[in-house]
Amino acid sequence: MTLQEFINQWNGKKLDYDNYAGNQCVDLTKKWLSGLGYSVTGAWGNAKDWDKNGNREGLTWIANTPSGIPKEGDIMVFGGGSYGHVDIFISGDINSFKAFDQNYPNGKLEPCGIFTHKYTGNLYVKGWLRPDKYNPAPTVDPKDTRIIELEAQVIDFQAREDDAKRKLEACEKQTNVTIVRMQTDIDNLNSDKKSLEANLEAIRSSLESSKQENNQLEDTNIQLSSKNSTLRKNIIELEKKLLECEKKVVVKSFWQSILDFLKGVK
């Protein structure tokens, strides 16, 4: 059983392990040791005496020092007060720590709970009993944890960078292909443009030739119209002359007839 599992089982509850004097702090630590496989029968005395009475096989007593830091699962032994106090160390440093307690902080049979403690005060830490049978997961230094997190981030960023590079390369290849296709299309359009311009120039030239021919035709038509007008005038004059001639012929013929008649009378 891990300490966290033990806490989850008893947090907020009252535990009277030895059925004596209600739920005392020693009932919690006895239950913890019992769960680890230790025998907790016999006299253990008040909590403040556990530095002597608890120093049994498989339990190592470690006196408190300014630089000493307990480990998860250690039983903290407090002096002070009439009976002292014991609890189970969770985590901490040389200044303070969190522990799993019962009958704390007022000694009025409070249920199990997690509290923060100092090493000094009315209740002061004499030391702690270390259960050799409990091997908690190694404590990771926060700095090491941060380093691990940063290394993981670096790996993640590297993976993202590699993925971005692959995508960029693929994009560049696709872009190059697209550029080549676009250049080909542009060349084709330019070629079509030149052909259209040539055709347009040919059409313009043809139109110019047509205009010139049309102008020539118009000039010819004007000339013909002028000649036609002149011819009409000439015809009219000729018709007049012809009419005069005809009149003269008729008169001459008339007088000739008269002369012929007169000649016959003689």
Tokens of 125: 């830490």
Helices of type H across the chain: 3-10, 25-35, 50-53, 142-265
Q: Which phi and psi angles does 115 have, rounded to 5°?
A: -135, 160
pLDDT of residue 259: 84
Structural domains present in the chain: 3-136 (3.90.1720.10)
The whole-number pLDDT of residue 233 equals: 87
Each residue of 90-112: pLDDT tens digit? Answer: 999 999 999 999 999 999 999 99
Looking at residue 143, what is its pLDDT? 67
Query: pLDDT under 50 in the chain at which residues?
Result: none
Report residue 162 as tokens.
């590699």
Judge residue 14's burial from the number of C-beta atoms within 10 Å of its C-beta, 0-12 exposed, 13-18 middle, 19 or more buried: middle
Answer whether 101's CB lies under 8 Å from 112's CB: yes
Q: What Rg do the C-alpha atoms of the chain give, in angstroms?
A: 66
Backbone angles phi, psi at 166, to 5 degrees: -60, -45
What is the reported pLDDT for 141? 61
Output the pLDDT for position 139.
58
pLDDT at position 265: 80
CB atoms within 10 A of CB 110: 16
- Predicted local confidence at residue 204, as pLDDT: 84
DSSP 138: P
pTM assigned to the model: 0.54
- Calculate the alpha carbon distances from 42 to 45, 54, 61, 126, 127 in Å: 9, 11, 19, 22, 22
Q: Write down the pLDDT at residue 140.
A: 59
pLDDT value at residue 88: 98
pLDDT of residue 138: 65
From CA 184, how far away is CA 178, in angstroms rounded?
10
Which tens digits make up the pLDDT trace of 146-198? 777 787 887 877 888 888 888 988 888 888 888 888 888 888 888 888 887 88
Question: Quick one: CA dihedral 214, 216, 220, 225, positive or negative?
Answer: positive
Alpha helices in 101-141 (DSSP H): none
Instruction: State how far the Cα of 128 lies from the Cα of 68, in Å rounded to an integer.
Output: 10
